[in-house]
Structure 1
Amino acid sequence: MKNGLKIVTIGGGSSYTPELIEGFIKRYEELPVSEIWLVDIEEGKEKLQIVGDLAKRMVEKANLPIDIHLTLDRRSALKDADFVTTQFRVGLLDARAIDERIPLKYHVIGQETNGPGGLFKALRTVPVILNVVKDIEELCPDAWLVNFTNPTGILTEAILRHTSFRKVVGLCNVPIHMQMDIAQMLNADVSRVHVDFMGLNHMVYGSKVLLDGEDVTEHVIDLIATSSESMTMNNIKSIEWSPEFIKALRLIPCPYHRYYYKTREMLEQELKDADAEAEAEGTRAEVVKKLESDLFELYKDPNLDIKPPQLEKRGGAYYSDAACRLIASLYTNKCDIQPVNTINNGAISSIPNESAVEVSAVITKDGPMPIAMGDLPVAAQGLVQQIKSFERLAADAGATGNYQTALLAMTINPLVPSDIVAKQILDEMLEAHKEHLPLFTKEPIA
Structure 2
Amino acid sequence: MTKQAFSVLIAGGGSTYTPGIVLTLLNQLERFPIKTLKFYDNDGERQQVIADACAIIIKERAPQIEFLATTDPETAFSDVDFVMAQIRVGKYAMRSLDEKIPLKHGVVGQETTGPGGIAYGLRSIPGVIELVDYMERYSPNAWMLNYSNPAAIVAEATRRLRPNSKIINICDMPIDIMDRMAKIVGLKDRNDLVFRYYGLNHFGWWTDIRDQQGRDLMPEIKAYVAKNGYWLGGDYDAQTEASWARTFKAAADVYALDPTTLPNTYLKYYLYPQAVLAHADPTYTRTDEVRAHREAYVFSECRRVVQNGTAKDITYTGDEHSTYIVDLCTAIAFDTKQRMLAIIPSAGAVANLDPTAMVEVPVLFGANGPERLAMGNAATFQKGLITEQNCVEKLVVDAYIERSYTKLWEAMSLCKIVPDAAVAKVILDEMIVANRDYWPELA
Identity %: 26
Alignment of 1:422-433 (within 5 A): 422-433=424-435
Alignment of 1:3-82 (within 5 A): 4-41=5-42, 44-82=43-81
CA spacing shift, 1:104–1:310, aligned 2, 3 Å:
farther
* Structure 1 Cα separation of the partners of residues 229 and 358 of structure 2: 34
Does the Cα contact within 8 Å between 2:228 and 2:252 map onto a contact in 1? no
* Length-normalised TM-score, structure 1: 0.89
> Unmatched 5+ residue regions in structure 2?
none
* Structure 1 Cα separation of the partners of residues 442 and 275 of structure 2: 37
1:222 maps to which residue? 223
1:293 maps to which residue? 296
Q: How far 1:343 sits from its partner (Å)?
A: 2.6
Deviations 1:75-129 (A, max 9, x none): 3311232111111111110100000001011100000000000000000110121
Q: How far 1:167 sits from its partner (Å)?
A: 1.4
SS class of match (1:435): coil
Does the Cα contact within 8 Å between 1:126 and 1:399 map onto a contact in 2? no
Deviations 1:49-78 (A, max 9, x none): 121122222222223411111111123311
Task: Give 1:268's match in structure 2, choosing from 269, 278, 281.
Answer: 278
SS class of match (1:183): helix
* Structure 2 Cα separation of the partners of residues 245 and 60 of structure 1: 47
Alignment of 1:111-150 (within 5 A): 111-150=110-149
In terms of mean alpha carbon deviation, does 362-371 or 343-352 score higher? 343-352
CA spacing shift, 1:243–1:431, aligned 2, 3 Å:
closer
Does the Cα contact within 8 Å between 1:100 and 1:109 map onto a contact in 2? yes
* Length-normalised TM-score, structure 2: 0.90
Q: How far 1:308 sits from its partner (Å)?
A: 5.3
SS class of match (1:359): strand
Deviations 1:168-212 (A, max 9, x none): 111111111111111111122124323322111100211111023
Alignment of 1:13-412 (within 5 A): 13-41=14-42, 44-190=43-189, 191-212=191-212, 213-227=214-228, 230=231, 234=241, 235-236=243-244, 237-238=246-247, 239-241=249-251, 246=256, 248-270=258-280, 273-274=281-282, 276=283, 282-291=284-293, 292-301=295-304, 302=306, 303=308, 305=311, 317-412=319-414
CA RMSD of aligned residues (A): 2.2
Does the Cα contact within 8 Å between 1:168 and 1:342 map onto a contact in 2? no
Does the Cα contact within 8 Å between 1:159 and 1:165 map onto a contact in 2? no
* Structure 1 Cα separation of the partners of residues 22 and 302 of structure 2: 13
Q: How far 1:310 sits from its partner (Å)?
A: 5.5
Amino acid at match of 2:303: K
> Unmatched 5+ residue regions in structure 1?
277-281
Q: How far 1:320 sits from its partner (Å)?
A: 2.3
Amino acid at match of 2:97: I
CA spacing shift, 1:33–1:45, aligned 2, 3 Å:
same
1:435 maps to which residue? 437
SS class of match (1:353): coil
Amino acid at match of 2:219: E
Deviations 1:138-162 (A, max 9, x none): 2222111100100112111110111
SS class of match (2:354): coil
1:279 maps to which residue? none
* Structure 1 Cα separation of the partners of residues 120 and 221 of structure 2: 34
* Structure 1 Cα separation of the partners of residues 231 and 250 of structure 2: 6
CA spacing shift, 1:356–1:247, aligned 2, 3 Å:
closer
Q: How far 1:351 sits from its partner (Å)?
A: 2.5
* Structure 2 Cα separation of the partners of residues 240 and 396 of structure 1: 33
